[in-house]
Structure 1
Amino acid sequence: MTQLDLASLITFIPAILRVTTPILLAGLGVLISSRAGVLNIGVEGMMLSGAFAGVVVSAATGSATLGFLAALVVGGALGAALSFAVHVLKSDLILSGIALNMAAAAGTTLLLFMLTGDKGMSGSLSSQVLPSLTIPVLAGIPVLGTLLSGHHILTYAAFLAVPGVGLFLMRTPMGLRLRAVGENPESAEIAGINVRRVQVGALVASGVFAGAAGAFLSMGYVSWFSQNMSAGRGFIALAAEVMGHGSATGTMFASLLLGIAEAASIALQGVGLPSELMQTVPYLVPVIALVVHARRRQRLLARA
């Protein structure tokens, strides 16, 4: 490997981890709700609202920690609101999630204009930035230390959450009840499990993960909020969960694949190809992957 190739690799891998982080966080949230039988279509709106809340609270208090906590609270609250619409008002889950996404896009734009007089970047609402983390053990290793140390603290949290979520779903009594509700809610009800309570908790937890993903976008990528800055990453997270076959590890690898696509589209914008074409890559890859996934599933069902 030449020095140029090594330098490109050292630059590209951290970029992959950076763009993968919000997709993975939101994808794990979608996984939790999906296994409970309540697919969180509103994850895009929860991310966007979390990003907005993080910047506003951080700017008002001067504390990145309080901004991050506000993003988690707002995400969880929207998860509870979606659950209220579905379980109490008896509205359709998919339509309610779509409505939440639309309301979040319009609401954050309106609030941003009210606070700053500008619906673009909120320059007057500059937030504190959540810190990066240097791991001494890794930092001293040539090349590997550069690749794996010094990333944003939420990047490490996202990847550490993968085994945590996997163990929760597969090895804990609460995770067992959650999966039982998702697979057969009628049987779970007969077994004495409170289906509504489990699904409410799953949607709230999903919203908290989405809020964390939004906080990373506005307090990790940059230190401000802009209109619709989630840019469809919530929908990409939905694709990551489907591509991951309902497992935390699978969701992680699918998120990495989609992160590679997004990082590559950014890197290739300077090679002479139309930037508009390159910007479609992160959205074309999940579509292609989902088509392949659907065809493979059809073959398996046909054999069965």
Structure 2
Amino acid sequence: MSALEQILTAGTLFVILMKVAPLLLAAIGGAFTQQGNILNIGLEGMMLIGAFTAISVGSAFDSALVGVVAAVLAGLALSLVYAAGTLWLKADFIVVGIGVNLLAAGLSVFLLQVLYGNPGVTPPSASITLPRISLGPLADVPVLGTALNNQTALVWLALLSVPLASLVLYRTRFGVHLRAVGEDADAAAAAGIRVTRVKAQSILISGVLCGAAGAQLAMATLGSFTADMTSGRGFIAVAALTFGLARPVRTMVAAFIFGAADAVADQLGIAGFNSNLALMTPYVITILALVVAGIQFRRIRGAKASATPTPQVA
């Protein structure tokens, strides 16, 4: 079997879906804040603290469900820190996002040392994995059946988050208010919209989804936590939502591109390609996507500027 045949299989699609799920959950969470004109750089830290909490709490209670709930609450708590810093203390959201990431990285290493005596990884005794969902007879459907069978519930949640996010953003009062705040906060405030509250709600949504993303990342296969295990996936999620212009469907497409690159990189390593070159693949694609997104934003700004009427001087 050739290297290409080893890569293009239903098994690879299974791995792609597994890797896309945390990226997609985090990217959709970031899309909510971006719709409110907040680029949430703290997605990485929220994912990381969610991953640690999922393993530590889930293994302590010997329950994957408890671990997921704890991860969501941890992501929510860190998003509260982000909201307090940006909305109430009026700090720059990029700086606060970097601080949140550093806080999550340092706190997770500190808790690893305190709880397990090892700052690098949780011990084998602290291990918990998510249960898999069997499709039964539907698993025999060619390609898709194999790819979707025995995935975790969080993979299905990630896929469902796209239509749900579209529904919330474009069919609810909150979504209308959030998009109005993102377009022009002053005009939204003049219309009676509580700008700070709407932005805070979008940040909390991102924290919840990032916590779930961390749980999927840590509990889907390994069932353990290692320091800095997100390895830049939060920033890749930021790239996905940027490339997708914070629109759920486009963000999902971008997340699938990055997830596919990650999965293909794994398969390239298995097929015997240089592992360092394979590991570079997702990040190279991320950089290219950000360049394309930058060009798109420039065109959009140019179109808006040309559409704005020039005031006439009497």
| TM score, norm. by length of structure 2 | 0.91
Amino acid at match of 2:127: S
Aligned to 2:133: 133
Instruction: Please say if 1:65 is aligned against 2:77.
Output: no
Aligned to 2:224: 224
Aligned CA-pair RMSD: 2.0
Separation in 1, partners of 2:196, 2:298: 32
Identity %: 38
Instruction: Please say if 1:248 is aligned against 2:248.
Output: yes
Aligned to 1:285: 285
Flag the 1:302–1:58 CA change in 2: closer, same or farther, 3 A: closer
| TM score, norm. by length of structure 1 | 0.94
Separation in 1, partners of 2:300, 2:30: 25
Aligned to 1:168: 168
Separation in 2, partners of 1:212, 1:47: 8
Separation in 1, partners of 2:96, 2:219: 28
The total of aligned residue pairs comes to 303
Shift of 1:60: 1.5
Q: Unaligned regions of 5+ residues in structure 1, if any?
A: none
Shift of 1:299: 4.8
Q: Unaligned regions of 5+ residues in structure 2, if any?
A: 307-314
Amino acid at match of 2:46: M
Within-5 A mapping of 1:1-304? 5=5, 8-136=8-136, 138-299=138-299, 304=306
Aligned to 2:312: none
Aligned residues of 2:78 and 2:207 also touching (Cα < 8 A):
yes
Q: State the secondary structure of the residue aligned to 1:181.
A: helix
Separation in 1, partners of 2:6, 2:149: 17
Aligned residues of 1:56 and 1:125 also touching (Cα < 8 A):
no
Aligned residues of 2:11 and 2:146 also touching (Cα < 8 A):
no
Separation in 2, partners of 1:42, 1:16: 24
Aligned residues of 2:243 and 2:292 also touching (Cα < 8 A):
no
Flag the 1:209–1:125 CA change in 2: closer, same or farther, 3 A: farther
Shift of 1:144: 3.4
Q: State the secondary structure of the residue aligned to 2:90.
A: coil
Amino acid at match of 2:40: N
